[in-house]
Amino acid sequence: MSAAAEEKFGLNDADLAIRPTVYAPDCLKGQVAIVSGGAGGIGRATAWLFARLGAHVVVAGRSEDKIAELVRAIGAQGLACNGHAVDIREPEAVGAFFDRVWNEYGGAGILVNSAGGQFPQPAIDFSVKGWNAVINTNLNGTWHMMQAAARKWRDTGQPGSIVNIVVVTTHGLYGVAHTIAARAGVIGLSRSVAVEWAPLDIRINCIAPGAIETEGWKTYTPEARSAYPRSNPMMRVGNAWDIAEACVYLGGPSGRFITGELLTVDGGGQLWGETWTTGKPDYFKTPANIQGR
């Protein structure tokens, strides 16, 4: 297939600039919102939506070029967006990033942690390096961002709100056990500090997306992709805007009485359906394996 005819997955900047939203324009006016992983599918949609609702968005990500491209696209619509490269695995770099946000933009009231990554592999084959890489980015990196934000809010006496993007850890997602472990850690951590940081007027919530179509889907085989709409009882996939709107709900003023919560946006996939990122093992398909009858 030629590059021009390449299939499109998820929402691109042209879609994100005009997609209708249930939220009132300017409902985040005056807010500064940090979005980590802003260059990727969910982070990108979240950055767009927050900017369209009047927030000044500060995108944090690993790739300077990708951030610059997003900042240009959002800025071209007359919306406020800046971005800085930061490796969330490095606590000093994260600290310096937050210093910069406070020095240059006067602080930020909302942090959406969308940065992360994983690779499908049967757990029995994980290398130490692969395991550590996923835990380091998805658990440790998210924690460094959470702690650095909370320290700024504590030290400046400002309230704050964190939304952590995780995955569904309870049922239905297989072949990425390292990320399940890391994200389950983030969910537990979020519940714990939701209580510890309540006296600081800091809220922490998580969103667990299910089958969300993004650009990353082009790396999956057509067979794997075709199974995704059947991974939940609604028999369809979601998109990054579904998650972005959930981020506004929990992260913004509408979430003022919500903390320590996990909002699952997966079309019911946590109740019915399954996603085998590494292919469904024959064991689960073969009637001969049904024992005891």
The token pair at 252 is 């913004």
C-beta of 7: minimal distance to ligand ADE in Å?
Answer: 24
The four Cα atoms 281, 283, 287, 288 give a dihedral, to 10 degrees, of: 150
φ, ψ dihedrals at 145, nearest 5°: -65, -45
Alpha-carbon distance 246 to 206, whole Å?
10
**Closer residue to ligand ADE (CB): 31 or 179:** 179
Nearest to ligand ADE of 69, 261 (CB atom): 69
Q: How far is the CB of 137 from ligand ADE (least distance, A)?
A: 5
Helices 41-52 and 64-75 cross at an angle (nearest 10°) of: 30
Number of residues that bind ligand ADE (CB under 6 A): 13
Give 125's contacts (C-beta < 8 A, 6+ positions apart): none
In the complex, minimum distance from the CB of residue 60 to ligand ADE, in angstroms, rounded to a whole number: 6
Question: Which helix (H) or strand (E) element contains residue 203?
Answer: strand 202-209
Of residues 69 and 87, the one with the C-beta less far from ligand ADE: 87
Helix axes 128-135 and 177-196, enclosed angle (nearest 10): 30
Q: Which 252-271 positions form the footprint of ligand ADE (CB under 6 A)?
A: none
> In terms of C-beta density within 10 A (0-12 exposed, 13-18 middle, 19 or more buried), how is residue 127 classed?
exposed
Nearest to 145 by CA among 239, 241, 56, 38: 38
For residue 61, the minimal CB distance to ligand ADE (Å) is 5
Q: Check if the beta carbon of residue 233 is closer than 8 Å to that of residue 271.
A: yes
By C-beta, is 86 or 263 nearer to ligand ADE? Answer: 86
**148 near ligand ADE (CB under 6 A):** no
**Closest CB to ligand ADE among residues 37, 185:** 37
Beta bridge partners of 209: 265
What residues from 47 to 86 belong to the interface with ligand ADE (CB under 6 A)? 61-62, 86
Closer to ligand ADE by CB, 52 or 62: give it.
62
The residue number whose beta carbon is nearest to ligand ADE equals: 115
Q: How far is the CB of 114 from ligand ADE (least distance, A)?
A: 8
How many CB atoms sit inside 10 A of residue 199's CB? 8
Q: Which is nearer to ligand ADE, 117 or 216 (CB)?
A: 117
The distance of closest approach from Cβ of residue 146 to ligand ADE in the complex, given in angstroms and rounded to an integer, is 14
- Candidate residues 37, 83, 209, 252; the one interacting with ligand ADE per rule CB under 6 A: 37
Q: Of 88-147, which residues contact ligand ADE (CB under 6 A)?
A: 88-89, 115-117, 137, 141
Q: Least separation, in Å, of the C-beta of 20 and ligand ADE?
A: 29
Contacts of 251 (CB under 8 A, 6+ apart): 33, 110, 112, 161, 162, 163, 205
Which residues in this chain contact ligand ADE in the complex, by CB under 6 A? 36-37, 61-62, 86-89, 115-117, 137, 141
